[in-house]
Amino acid sequence: MRLMTLLLLSGFATGALAAQAVPPDLQPLPAPSVDTSSDSPVDADEGVTITKEAANKVEEFRVGGRLYMIKVTPKHGQPYYLVDDHGDGKFSRQGSLDSGFRPPQWVIKKF
């Protein structure tokens, strides 16, 4: 009972400290600028490049200018991934990025 009371009082104290007054000279942040002119990233060495063909949508994922994954989304069907696992430029096809590994999860204690 004492522990619960202590936790409850410390929760109220934390809330009171967090609700401090706002300084009067506080200026609002400027609105972020968003460039929506293209689907491609600004830096071609980083990010995702999207190419739309007649039958497929191809997304190329790069880091440091190195292509490491390609996602192909057919017009009709499930998307699949081509992944460079070893960094040697050889891509292997994967149906999804889910490896299927499921670690055991047991409930140790409920509160």
Any idea where the domains of the chain sit in the sequence? Answer: 40-99
Residue 50: pLDDT above 60?
Answer: yes
- Tens-place pLDDT, residues 55-75: 889 999 988 888 888 998 988
* Separation between Cα atoms, residue 93 and residue 47, nearest integer Å: 21
pTM: 0.47
* Separation between Cα atoms, residue 75 and residue 70, nearest integer Å: 16
| Pick from 79, 48, 42, 73: nearest CA to 61 | 48
Topology classification of domain 40-99: S-adenosyl-L-methionine-dependent methyltransferases (2.20.130)
Alpha helices in 32-96 (DSSP H): none
* Separation between Cα atoms, residue 36 and residue 100, nearest integer Å: 37
